[in-house]
Amino acid sequence: MKTTAIAMSLGLAAVLGGQAAAQQYDSRGNVIPGTEPPPKIDKIPKERATEREMPPPPPPRPENLMQIDVPHYPGKEVYLDRAAFSIGPDEIIRYTLVATAASDQKQITYEGIRCGPDEWRGYYLARPDGGWTRDFTGQWQRVSDAGPAAIRYLLAKSYFCTPQGRPVATLEDVFDRLTSSSVMRRDR
């Protein structure tokens, strides 16, 4: 068995035209001689490091807001800003969320959802003067279908992510899912 794995490895090296093959293992987990180790990975991937330098979006405008119904979040109206959606090269879907309580108090946040691990985090909180404050407590958290996090659960599971744990391919796909859903309404 070990001889077959070594022969396959040498054949792969020949096919690559002299390029070194990536490190390979035999059926027992031993490194096959003549293969290279995998490249080292930084502890913080570069795409996550850019999150720290990400600027906030423009403040939401009423004509860009789309209302969604969140069944497990009674007493609040929830809107998404169509103008603030993005799917980054890091596969994080970013958006502005506007939640209005029955008392007309608004909470506006700029957030992101990672589909693979089903996580969300806040980047910025809106100030009363229309500016933004960095959300310093915004750590990645699992989406949950209970309490205020139910909004993120609905967004991740119904609109932003595929069943395979990947983000949808384009923003048009997000908007198609949002506008064709029975829980989606246009702002009045």
Name the strand (E) or helix (H) holding 108: strand 106-114
pLDDT at residue 24, as a whole number? 58
pLDDT at residue 67, as a whole number? 87
How far is the C-alpha of 66 from the C-alpha of 50, rounded, in Å? 28
Name the token pair of 109.
């946040």
How far is the C-alpha of 126 from the C-alpha of 134, rounded, in Å? 9
- Main-chain dihedrals φ then ψ at residue 57, nearest 5 degrees: -80, 170
Residue 172 has pLDDT above 50, yes or no: yes
First and final C-alpha spacing in the chain: 69
When mean pLDDT is compared over 13-17, 52-56, 119-123, 134-138, the highest value belongs to 119-123
pLDDT digits (tens, 9 = 90+) for 94-113: 999 998 877 778 889 999 99
pTM: 0.67
pLDDT at residue 65, as a whole number? 92
- Find out whether 174 and 181 touch, Cβ atoms under 8 Å: no
Q: For the chain, give every domain's residue range.
A: 1-40, 46-186
pLDDT at residue 43, as a whole number? 42
- The letter for the amino acid at 147 is G
- Find out whether 86 and 107 touch, Cβ atoms under 8 Å: no
